[in-house]
Structure 1
Amino acid sequence: MFECTATDFSPGLNTSPLAPSFGCRCHSPEMTRFFSRMAAGRKPTKTAFATPSAPASLYGAGALTATAPAGPIAFENLRLFDGKSNILRDGFRVVVEGQKISSVEPMEKPLAEYIVAVDCGRRVLMPGMIDAHYHVMLASLPLNELLTADIGYINLAAAAEASRVLMRGFTSIRDMAGPCFGLKRAIDSGLVPGPRIWPSGAMISQTAGHGDFRQPYEIPAARGAPLSHAEVFGVGAVADGVAEVLRRAREQLMLGASQLKLAAGGGVVSSYDPIDVSQFTEAEFRAAVEAAENWGTYATVHAYTPRAIMVAIRAGVRCVEHGHLMDEEVAQTLSEQGVWLSIQPFLDDEDAVPFPEGSAQREKLLMVTRGTDATYELAKKHRIKTAWGTDILFDRRLSDRQGAQLAKMTRWHEPVDVLRMATSVNAELLRMSGPRTPYSAPLGVIEAGAYADLLLVDGDPLTQIHLLAAPEKNLLVIMKDGRFYKNIQPG
């Protein structure tokens, strides 16, 4: 396949730079002449993947933006996972023009002469994946650095993490707390590579709640006291009472939140709130829900326990993050009211945040992980709308295991159901942002009119989902917005 190659600034991605000043081969004199001849009426050209001697990256020397192919392309000789089906489909080609998929058509249909045909070698073409609970600003740096480092350094670290997220095959994320508005803008404008982001902004929290990162010496807070570092940074927004919750909710919407997130109960990483506590009143939740609804979107909550979940649901919250300690009554209520459950595969394993033995955080983590199996079973039993996410925090090693956390889902679901969850199902949750969604075309599916966010997998993820845990080896093509970010042939 033709390719754009250049220096890739993402740590751990070893790609060869392309020296010529035109920046990418799509715009080299040779490729310009090639596409000119095609447009003049030559027959469709079959292309193969790039050779190992010319590995792919879309960044020209000194450039920061990807370069799209110079014309429409058609992926052929593939097995198709469209994001919705139970099986791989044969006999189709997928045509990409610009940012979107223009058609999914039978191979028997004649291909227009100006379209370059790409031979996929019978590999699996699938939609780009979606992580419905990620923290791109918080995933790869330790907590003490996030609370003390210069914001410029944090933004640069987050930009590098965004690039790695994309290169793991995750072309979209729902960011569930953190000041990612600037990073989202940089990605959307092409300054840095990264996934599409649905930002929540700061998590709204009561005093002593899951989003209150103040130190004890800052309490009691004097009237008019400056905001804490975490509030200025934009991780949490402390609010007490209906009026303050309403103001904080409106502030996040002003900054560009596609949905609001509130802390409804205790958390693992926070210092002052036991897991069992319920946070905010129904009236306080309702203030945020109404603010979100006035903007055409929804509110979601961090919550583990039945009481925390039920108070939020009564106030009109439309999604629950976690829910690992819920009971049968809560599960039935979620199902009957159509409330989403965004669960993460929390287990006491290699993907757990390594809190010190005997610490309060370690004990809270163990409490949560003990409920994970039962929660997944309840969600299946009651057919709750279930999203998948990772909620990775504070550890670059853990963030690099994003795909492994998806593969772990086969503990509770069949591989095809896991893949649907990470594509079309998560995309359905993203659409709940309504007019506040940052991107207009369909995602998580391969169909005409959808964004051309595509992965080519060297193997069958429906039977070997663990392939997605090693994207550096098994993802041969990573495309977002119709642009190649990776395009290689296996060695």
Structure 2
Amino acid sequence: MGRFQVVGATVVDGSGRDPSTTVSVTVEEGRITELGDFSANGERLDAGGLTMTPGLIDAHVHLGLSSLVQPQFSFQISAAEIAADIFATAGAALDAGFTTVRDTGGIDGGVVTAIAKGKVRGPRVLSCGPVQCQTGGHGYYGAEWEPTELWSSHHVPGLCALSMMAGNADELRRNVREAFRRGASFLKLCVTGGVVGGKDRLTDTQFTVEEIAVAVQEAAARGTYVTVHAHNNEGIRNAVEAGARCVEHGTDLDEPTAALMAAHGVALVPTFAVVERLLRDPAAAGLDESARDRVAGVRERMARALAVAKEAGVRIGLGSDLIGPAQDRRGEELGLRAQLETPMDVLVAATKTNAEILGLPEVGVIAPGKQADLVLWKGNPLEDPNIFTDPANAVLVVQSGRVVKDLR
């Protein structure tokens, strides 16, 4: 579509302002050109009874982990099937109303390129490429008997790259430079233990301040940033001291650490959907029952961390962290967050705030000059946030002015 106007929708622009029922949205050459009265110049798209929001943004995805996780790690799934699962997940993200995602580990640059060229359906993707982890730390999923140097053989060049291990600062510097060579647009380090993987605990800290600072230095040299997987306060404080700009999960965040994050402008991306899924059925993600045990109590602690961060004035985004083949209901993250915040707060986190965290000033709100990333919802998700959880409620999805889904 070249030039068109969307009329009749209740418009929630992502800024936090009250919805408008009297505004038409004009789109031309992929951008929003005007908010105002309807003009007969251009195609009319009638959206009466629907609610318009900006395209949603998921700040923590794993497209490269779209197959059953443990079988993928142990070579029981072919590259062809892994690719099919990745591309199905990318398309499902669009269908759920997500026009932009930040992949925080698992895909290689070829997937980003294939989606950007339109060869497969998918959202706009920013990727860190392989996760950076310390030797034997979170992000390493090889068997105990497997020599560490063979771990890179689990990568499928151009398709998936799970993690790169470093035993010291020099090795980390080499690895992050390699990640950038492969097309990474930011870096992710694991600085504490995690839920998926049995070789560490959430209380473990990984990488020293000096090592994290090496990655920060390399990222800054390319005009980008470091985000960290971190569950405990010591790991978060190490990352903040080293200059990281974002924290993923933040499960046990306390008041002093939240204040430190706020003082340094460090953002937080909580991830509730993956916790809910693993509590419900770890086998659906290709994990054994130990994953359920490791995630016990995380939901409640992450909810407390969210409240602590909010009170401290930390910028808070939104991420699902879904893994495995069941990634079609990505909007469940918004429904879960709406149990802890207002639906408007949640929508702003998933649009305007996430765009700020990702460094994408041209998306995240409905305003003249912005990229035309728009979703029309059946019903009003501010009144019923569970509307976000069902992709069938995303009646029409527009990405950069192009209709990519239409159920009207």
**TM-score when normalising by structure 1:** 0.78
- Counterpart secondary structure, 2:335: helix
CA offset digits 1:15-62 (Å, max 9, x no partner): xxxxxxxxxxxxxxxxxxxxxxxxxxxxxxxxxxxxxxxxxxxxxxxx
Find the aligned partners of 2:406 and 2:21 in 1 and give their Cα distance.
22
CA contact (8 A) 2:274 2:320 kept: no
- Indicate whether 1:482 and 2:401 are aligned: yes
Change (3 A) 1:172 1:352: farther
Find the aligned partners of 1:346 and 1:172 in 2 and give their Cα distance.
18
CA contact (8 A) 1:452 1:479 kept: yes
- Indicate whether 1:244 and 2:163 are aligned: no
CA contact (8 A) 2:152 2:164 kept: no
In the other structure, the counterpart of 2:358 is 430
- Indicate whether 1:123 and 2:50 are aligned: yes
CA offset digits 1:251-275 (Å, max 9, x no partner): 1111111110001010111221111
CA offset digits 1:307-354 (Å, max 9, x no partner): 111111111111111110122211111111110111112586456363
CA contact (8 A) 1:346 1:372 kept: no
CA contact (8 A) 2:278 2:292 kept: no
- Indicate whether 1:206 and 2:134 are aligned: yes
In the other structure, the counterpart of 1:230 is 154
- Written as runs of structure 1 = structure 2, the 5 A alignment for 1:166-185 is 166-185=94-113
Structure 2 runs not aligned, ≥5 long:
none
- Counterpart secondary structure, 1:117: strand
In the other structure, the counterpart of 2:16 is 85
Find the aligned partners of 1:346 and 1:374 in 2 and give their Cα distance.
16
CA contact (8 A) 1:130 1:173 kept: yes
Find the aligned partners of 1:347 and 1:482 in 2 and give their Cα distance.
31
- Counterpart secondary structure, 2:16: coil
- Counterpart secondary structure, 1:267: coil
Query: Quick one: which of 187, 196, 210 aligns to 1:260?
Result: 187
Change (3 A) 1:165 1:140: farther
Find the aligned partners of 1:236 and 1:141 in 2 and give their Cα distance.
17
- Indicate whether 1:407 and 2:335 are aligned: yes
- Written as runs of structure 1 = structure 2, the 5 A alignment for 1:269-308 is 269-308=196-235
In the other structure, the counterpart of 1:454 is 374
CA contact (8 A) 2:14 2:365 kept: yes
CA offset digits 1:448-473 (Å, max 9, x no partner): 1211111111211111111111221x
Query: Quick one: which of 149, 152, 158 aligns to 2:80?
Result: 152
- Indicate whether 1:379 and 2:309 are aligned: yes
- The offset of 1:150, in angstroms, is 2.4
Deviates more, 1:360-369 or 1:185-194: 360-369
Change (3 A) 1:80 1:359: closer
Structure 1 runs not aligned, ≥5 long:
1-68, 432-436
Find the aligned partners of 1:349 and 1:144 in 2 and give their Cα distance.
22
- Counterpart secondary structure, 1:411: coil
- Counterpart secondary structure, 1:467: helix
Letter matched to residue 322 of structure 2:
I
How big is the alpha-carbon RMSD for the aligned residues of Structure 1 and Structure 2? Answer: 2.0
Find the aligned partners of 1:358 and 1:462 in 2 and give their Cα distance.
37
Letter matched to residue 229 of structure 1:
S
CA contact (8 A) 1:214 1:228 kept: no
In the other structure, the counterpart of 1:314 is 241
CA contact (8 A) 1:169 1:455 kept: yes
**TM-score when normalising by structure 2:** 0.93
- The offset of 1:228, in angstroms, is 3.8
Letter matched to residue 153 of structure 2:
H
- The offset of 1:177, in angstroms, is 0.2
Q: Give me the identity figure in percent.
A: 32
Change (3 A) 1:121 1:386: same
- The offset of 1:245, in angstroms, is 0.4
Letter matched to residue 16 of structure 2:
S
CA contact (8 A) 1:176 1:200 kept: yes
- Indicate whether 1:464 and 2:391 are aligned: no
Letter matched to residue 247 of structure 1:
R
CA contact (8 A) 1:286 1:316 kept: yes
CA contact (8 A) 2:16 2:345 kept: no
CA contact (8 A) 1:125 1:456 kept: yes
- The offset of 1:362, in angstroms, is 2.9
Number of equivalenced pairs: 401
In the other structure, the counterpart of 1:389 is 319
Query: Quick one: which of 363, 367, 374 aligns to 2:293?
Result: 363
CA contact (8 A) 1:75 1:93 kept: yes
